[in-house]
Structures are given as C-alpha cells and as structure tokens.
Structure 1
Amino acid sequence: MQTTTLHTHCIPRLVALAAAALLAGCALGPDYAGPPDAAPHAAQNGHFVRGGASSTAAMPSNRWWEGLNDPILNSLVQRALEANPNLGAARARLQQSRAALNLEQANALPSVGASALAAHARLPPLNLGGLSSSSGSSTSANLYSLGFDATWEVDLFGAHKRSIQAAGASAEAAQATLADVQVSLAAEVANAYINLRDRQQRLALGDESIRAQEQMLRLTSQRVERGTASSLDLIRMQNQLDGTRADLVPLQADKEAYLNQLATLAGQEPGALDAELALAAPVPLPPAEVAVGDPTSLLRRRPDIRAAERTLAADTAKIGQAEAAKYPSLKLLGIIGLGGTHPSDLTRLDDFAAIGAPMLSWNFLDFGRARSRVTQAERVRDEAEMKYRQTVLDALRDAEDSLSRFRYGRVTVATVARTKVSADRALELARQRYAAGTGTLIDVLDTTRQQITAQQNLLQAEAALTRSFVGIQKALGLGWSDEG
C-alpha cells in the first residue's frame, strides 16, 4: 500500500481539481439504463394466452378478496395484514434499508467534531546534559484547550454517488419485498379459510352419510335375522360404514390445522379463532368474470418483479463503487483550536491555531485486488440480470397456469354439478317408489348416500375453483399497498 500526504503548498491545485471533478459530476461505472426486455412477445400480444372467456382485460381490484363477498374472510385478511409477524419483519427490513440510505447520504457530507481538554501535569526534575534543574524539585503545569475539526472526502470519482444510488435502489427493493409478503399473506389467509370451510362442509355431509349408513346397517341386520339377506351383505355394509368413518378422521385433523393456521397468520395463538369460526359456512365462490388486465400491467405491478429490478439497479451502481476504489481519494481536513495554561486563555479568540490540509491517498500497487473487485461486482450484476429475467418468466407462467386451472376448474364444477343434479333426481325417484310401495327403505338410504357423495364431490370442485381464483390474484401480484 502506498499512501501520499500532501501539505499546504498543494492546496490551491487540489481545490481546483476537486472543484472541476464536482462540476463535471464524475462517476465511474455504468449508468443504469433500466431493466432488459425479458418478455417481448407478452407485451406484443397484449393479452394472456390462457385467459379464456371467463377472464376480462379490465383492471383487477387490489383488494380482490372482497370480490368473494365473505365478511369473515375480509376481516381475517385485514387482521393478518395488520398483525402478522412475518409482515412486521418485512417492515423492519424496509426501515433498515432506509436507515442505510440515510447513512450513505450522510457519509457524503462533511464530518464536524469538537474536543475539550483540561489537564494537570506534574513533571520530575529535568536533567539536561547531566545538569539538574536549579531547584532540584518537580514542576507542575495546567493545560486547557478547545478545538473543532472537520473532514470531508471529495467525491472525485463518484464513489459516494454510486453508494447512494445503490442504497436507494436497495431501499426500493425492500419496499417491493414488503409488498410481495403482503401478496403472499393475503392469498395464504384466503386459501386457509377456503380449506377450512370445505372441511367443515364435508364433515357435515359425512355425518349425514354415516347416519344413513347406520340406518341401512340396522335394516340389513333385521333382514339377516329374518333370512331375507345374507351375512355377507351385513359385512359389506359394516365395512362401508367403517370406511366412511375413517374418511372423516383426516378431515377433522385438517379442520383443526386450518384453524391454527388462520390464527397464527393473524398474529394470534393457535385456538384463538376456534369460537369465531366454529359455525360452518359455505365455501365462498368467485365471480362469474375475473378481471386480469394484460401482461404489461402484470409486469409493472408484481412486487417480486419490482424487487428484482431494483436489485439489478443496486448491483449496477456497485460496479461504479468498485471502479472508484481504483483511483485516488482526496480528503480535506481542517482544525481550529484555542488553548493555554489558564482557563481564561480559551476566551482569547484573536489567538488561535488553525490547520488546513488536504490528504491524497492512492492504493496504486494492489496486485490486481481492485480489478478483481470490479470483476466481481460485474458478475454480481450479471447474476441479478439473469434473476430478473427468470422472475419475469416465472411471473408470466404463474399467471398463465392459474388462468388455465381456473378455466378448467369451471368445466369440472359444471360436470360435477350435473352429476349432483342426477343424484338429486335419483333420490327423489327412490323416495317416490318407496312411498308407492315399489321400493325399499334400503334403496332410499343407499341413494341418499350416493347423493351425499355427489354433494361432497361438488363441494371439493367448488373449493378447488375458488383456490384457483386466489391463485390468479396472487399471480397477478394483487393484495399489497404502499407502506411507509
């Protein structure tokens, strides 16, 4: 390391150099020119490939959960957005990044300090060339001083400018990351709520099926006793009942797990929402048409894309920081001091010491360290660009996949609904035949069980459709708001 310190006779030349650099706004490294065009065809198409007839190009609502028309869900999402610990951690990271930006801005400004000294010294007898002081006794002295000092590093090659740019972009990336956490949180609450209502409804239908099968089992047992049915029929009926009961066990476990999940998402302990959500309610259904906008608006809106773009901007600025480290740095130092052997000397403003000194330092012989740091920064920037491109492609794929699942989910619901209508008709016919004396009660109960199974299948299909709707909203990057 070679360090050069320049004295006062160099001040005029260095001041002129610093002024010229500042006026020129010199900053090494590449200037950020915006993100690359990672999806040119999406912008040209102007619409989603998998949208289908159920989606429209209208701008979607950011508070999409309100479109499900479920006040309880609205309340749960709002509580989660206010009290979720992960969201609180993201807010703290945002404040950290803003503090880092403030620090970098402050580092570009002069630093001013003050110092004060009051000292009493007792010195032994002086011995100069073998001759002792005449008195042969120790001496004492007082010292008082008051000083101010200021330092400022002139941003000759834009190191401070680039560091402020990098910190500002990082703060904006943290803001976008906070929004992305909000998007994921709203979707997670909605999915947990949909799954909870699905399990509650299926458990209720399962209880109905068990009651029907228990009655069928009793009637079959009576028929066996009368010799009109075989023991095999009774065993099959018992196995069917046991299977239905077994199917309800994991549903009950799922229900409790989703209750716990909703509580913790809202920042509460497991079980805190049990009483509030104990009463079963229907699964909320999506609207007939879903507004999805277009791919261009998606790329502007999704927080993870914005976070990746801001990270790319920050890493681009850091190349300039590394470049500036290859060149000299200039610091200006100034000191003003008052002092003497008596406190009154501190008031003698016409008798002060002043020092002004520039200091130029340059690590010109570092055996390639600075060049390696620049290369490292360039490769980090290249990695950030590739991550940005991948984030854009993943976002478009998420949107297209969600739209496709939603479109085919509607087909599934329509098909299962027709099956359910057929099961309803079969149950009505079985009841009519039983009333007319041409059918048995077992036929009615068995048809009832089949109709309940059709109801459960329709319920599962509707829940899957609503989850697909939630998936669309998450893929579109909806559900966030700017927070300070």
Structure 2
Amino acid sequence: MFRKNVPMKSATRSRAGGLVRGVKYAGLISGTALLLASCAVGPDYQTPNMPLSSSWRNANADTPSRPPELAFWWKKLGDPLLNQLIEEAIENNLDVRSSKASVRGARASYRQANGALFPSLDGSAGATRSKSASSGGSSSTVGNLFNAGFDASWELDLFGANRRASEAAKYGLDAAEEELRATLLTLIGDVTTNYVEARGYQARIALAQRTAASQNETAKLTRNRFQVGSSSGLDVANAEGQAASTSANIPTLQTALAASVHRLGVLTGREPTALTDRMKRVASIPTPRLPMPSGVPATVLLTRPDVRLAERQLAQSTALIGAAEAAKYPAISLTGSIGTSAAKFGDLGKNSSISWSFGPTLSVPIFNAGKLAAAADLARAERDQSFLAYKGAVLGALEDVENALVGFSHERVRLRSLQKSTDSYRSAASLSQSLYQTGAVSFLDVLDSERSLYSAEDSLIQSKVLLTTYYISLQKALGGGWSGEVDTTKPEVVDQNAGPRLALTKAETKAQ
C-alpha cells in the first residue's frame, strides 16, 4: 500500500547544488531500497506430493490404462444435434458466462495487486485570486497565484507484502480459469446426459405406444371371439386391462421427456421450450464406441479442473500467509514532491518559485494487541483448510473414476443379459400366440408372455441409456471438457454514456 507523503527535507532552487545533492541522495536511497526489496517472509509454495496408485482397480479390457482421449469426447457418440447443442450451450449458458466474468474480475484484481509494486505519481495544479487591504482601508492589493506540482510515493516492500499479494492474485486468476473449465466440464456432462435421457424417453414412449396398440388389437380380437363364444369374459377383461396399463405409462414418460427437453433449453441459455421442435424428431440413443481408455490415477491431477482449482486455491492461501507475516515487520516508503508557483500563469515554467522534497518514511508496528499475529494465524488455518480441500478433491476424483469404471463394466454385462432376455421373450411371445391358436395354451399365457416382452424391451432401453450415462460420468471424472477457445474478454453489460457528464435528476433523465 502507498503511504502518506511526509517530506523529510525541502529547499528552494536558489542554489542548483542543493538540488544535485538531493538527486544523488535519492539515488542512494533507491539503490538501497532495491537491494532490500529482495527480502520476503512466509512459506514458498510447493505443489503437494500426492501418492497415487499406478492403475485403476476397476479397469478392464473395455477401459484400458492408456492415455484417455478426452478432447471433444462427446463427438465419439456420433450425434450431430448433440454436438450443436453443446456448442450453443458453451456460447450461451448463464453459468459459463458468469464464470467468464469471474475470470475478468480475477484478471483485474491481479493487475490491481501488481500496481502496488510500482511507484505512484500524482499531479496537482491550482489558481488563487486574492485581495488584501491596508488597516485604514485606504488602499488594497489584488493579486493572483498559480501553482503546479507532482507528488510521488513508493513503498519499498522490504518483506514482500505486496509481492505476496501479487502472487496470491496470480494464483487467484489461475483458480478462476480452472473454475471456468470446471463449469464447462459440468455443463457438457449435463447437456449430454439430458440429451441421452431424452432420446431414451422417446424410445420408451415409442415402445409403449407400439405395445399398447398391439395389446388393444389383441383385446379387440378377444372381444370378437367372446361375442361368438370362442373366448371368455375373463380373457376380454385381462386383455383390456393390460392394454390400459401399458397406455398409462405413456403420460409419465412424456412428462419426463418434456422435463429433459426443458432442461436442455435452459442449459443452452434459452427458454425451457426453445428446443421442443428440434427434439421432436426421434433419434437413436447415442452409444459409446469401445474400448474407452481410462489412463492412470495420476491423470486426474493433470486433467480434472476441480482438482487443479483446489491446488491453485492452496497456492493462493499459502501466498497470503506471507502477506500477513510481512505486516508484522517495518515498512519503508520513499516519498517526494516538486512544485512551482508564480504570480502569472506564463511564469510557472521560468520566473517561478520551485520547491522540492524527498525522503523515506518508516512505519514500525509497536503495539496492536496481537492483531497482526492473529491475522497470520488465521492465514495459516485457511491454508490448512485449502490443503485438506485439495486432498478431498483428489480423493473425490479417484472415487468418481472408480465408480464410473465399475458401473460401466457391470452395465455392459447387464445389457448383454437384457438383450438375450428380450430375444427369448420375443420368441416366447410369438410361440404363445401360435400355441393359443391351436388351443395348446391359455390366453393368460399369451398375456403373460406379452407383458414379459414389454418389460424386457423397456429394461433394455433403460440399460442403453444407463450405459451411455456411465460413459459420460467416466469422461467427466477423468476431466474431459471443452478443448476449444473460450473468449473471456467480452463484457455482458456495455454501459452507455458512462463518461463525464452533467448530473441529472430522474425526472430530467426521463424527459430526455
């Protein structure tokens, strides 16, 4: 921080030698200051060493331990509309735009902290017109006085308080950029997940509609058979009840589909229903291609933005300890000023009175009731919290990857079983219809086989959605996000007429 200018020595310019000696004295003090300014207090930051395993415990042939392919991972799902929605979300999502503003703020804070490392220079100018009268009032004198000058101040930062603050601000900027990356990672995962779920709901709705139509046709045939005495009333009631039960699932699925589409609209920075028309066309559920490289546990330390964010916050809190410690030590500032005054404005640069002053200012904390020591202790406690948060972020990242790996592997096994189950129930349903026509089985057997087939097909669709969801979770856990450029320089609000102007009342402003 800059300190108040306190002149230590002043002189007029009646003798040029005094000014020369003053300049030499200032040069000596400045050289000494530069030498002392290399000092610093507080700990120097070092990245913590986190011992990690050399492999994932739940990795298998589907997820080999070669470097993961995280760049634009969603494009491997092969869905052009999904790719478009992600690009639109990155451009328009409100959380991303807020994170961009945070980066701009952190960048300004860094520039502000750096400003404390350099001298400050202020200029001043004034003009005074005065009148003085004699004691008897018989005569008076009117005169002008013009003056101009410069004041300079520079804190020597002997113990690195300003440098530590600048260091902390730089780490804060790094943290803001990692927070933006974390926001992008979460956004891409949310868009992909909701899109896949929406496609899953569409597939389940189509299945329910097909099955309900088939079951209604069966109920109609059963009613016709009942009218001619070839079927019982019990068969008719069971057939109609099963068709109605299947139809009852459709509104619930349509509600869930609408919620996913609405969420996609908000994620892309639009109104909830903005994507309804674009999502009307039914498409297949995106499916990942195998194998999917998972890398090694150390990957998360290099790619996970939340882990890197926590590490930068730890570095920032470490630098702030030095700033707090430096406040306990003496502070020295160099201050100086030069001014000129004259009776005429045109004489300021020639026939004027010139004065100058310079010198150091020493400030020593003597008694503050332990406030400065407490501030340093507080900074250390906050550093400990940041350290534990960093360790927690690492462990959480490892947990996310292991969960995604085991979920993906087991869901693949489940999907294969469900596929076999669906094929078997489809054959059983076809066979039961044939046997019912010959009277070999009862109508309840037909209904049971149809109900089992619908349940198996519906479970198969849900398993496909869940498998892709685990794929998304794995990419997020490994730190896969946006790899393109992100413009953080564009402000959200552009102020109009923000320069110097006459102040107007609200009524006057409205009148304009």
TM-score, normalising length from structure 1? 0.90
Q: Distance in 1 between matches of 2:471 and 2:262?
A: 23
C-alpha deviation, 1:4, in angstroms: 12
User: Superposition pairs for residues 50-449 of structure 1, below 5 Å?
Assistant: 50-61=58-69, 62-123=71-132, 125=133, 133-136=135-138, 139-348=141-350, 351-430=353-432, 433=435, 447-449=449-451
Stretches of 4+ aligned residues off by more than 6 angstroms:
3-6, 9-13, 434-446
Q: Distance in 1 between matches of 2:351 and 2:344?
A: 14
Query: Residue by residue, what CA displacement relative to the aligned partner does 1:175-216 show, whole Å, maximum 9, x if unpaired?
Result: 111111111111101100100000001000100111122122
Aligned residues: 468
CA contact (8 A) 2:165 2:320 kept: yes
Q: Which has the higher mean CA deviation after the structures are superposed, 286-295 or 430-439? A: 430-439
Query: Residue by residue, what CA displacement relative to the aligned partner does 1:56-78 show, whole Å, maximum 9, x if unpaired?
Result: 12222221101111111111112
Q: Distance in 1 between matches of 2:217 and 2:447?
A: 8
What is the one-letter code of the residue matched to 1:116?
Answer: A
C-alpha deviation, 1:424, in angstroms: 2.5
CA contact (8 A) 1:427 1:447 kept: yes
Q: Which has the higher mean CA deviation after the structures are superposed, 190-199 or 102-111? A: 102-111
TM-score, normalising length from structure 2? 0.85
What is the one-letter code of the residue matched to 1:285?
Answer: T
Q: Distance in 2 between matches of 1:340 and 1:14?
A: 31
Distance 1:20 1:101, change over 3 A: same
CA contact (8 A) 1:113 1:150 kept: yes
Q: Distance in 2 between matches of 1:15 and 1:474?
A: 53
For residue 318 of structure 1, give the secondary structure of its aligned residue in structure 2: helix
CA contact (8 A) 1:409 1:461 kept: yes
For residue 369 of structure 2, give the secondary structure of its aligned residue in structure 1: coil
1:30 aligns with 2:39: no
For residue 295 of structure 1, give the secondary structure of its aligned residue in structure 2: coil
What is the one-letter code of the residue matched to 2:241?
Answer: N
Unaligned runs of 5+ in 2: 11-21, 489-512
Unaligned runs of 5+ in 1: 127-132
Q: Distance in 1 between matches of 2:264 and 2:475?
A: 19
Q: Which has the higher mean CA deviation after the structures are superposed, 348-357 or 49-58? A: 348-357
What is the one-letter code of the residue matched to 1:32?
Answer: Y
Q: Distance in 2 between matches of 1:165 and 1:172?
A: 11
Query: Residue by residue, what CA displacement relative to the aligned partner does 1:416-457 show, whole Å, maximum 9, x if unpaired?
Result: 011011022224434555788978999767645543332211
For residue 357 of structure 1, give the secondary structure of its aligned residue in structure 2: strand
Distance 1:73 1:271, change over 3 A: same
For residue 340 of structure 2, give the secondary structure of its aligned residue in structure 1: strand
For residue 119 of structure 1, give the secondary structure of its aligned residue in structure 2: strand
Tell me what 1:7 maps to: 8
Q: Distance in 1 between matches of 2:168 and 2:362?
A: 25
CA contact (8 A) 2:164 2:320 kept: yes
Q: Distance in 2 between matches of 1:451 and 1:243?
A: 14
Tell me what 2:499 maps to: none
For residue 347 of structure 1, give the secondary structure of its aligned residue in structure 2: coil
Output the aligned Cα RMSD: 2.6
What is the one-letter code of the residue matched to 1:117?
Answer: G
Distance 1:423 1:168, change over 3 A: same
Q: Which has the higher mean CA deviation after the structures are superposed, 225-234 or 46-55? A: 225-234
CA contact (8 A) 2:300 2:307 kept: no
For residue 291 of structure 1, give the secondary structure of its aligned residue in structure 2: coil
Distance 1:285 1:213, change over 3 A: same
For residue 271 of structure 2, give the secondary structure of its aligned residue in structure 1: coil
CA contact (8 A) 2:7 2:335 kept: no
Query: Residue by residue, what CA displacement relative to the aligned partner does 1:135-182 show, whole Å, maximum 9, x if unpaired?
Result: 445543211111111111111110111011100001001111111111
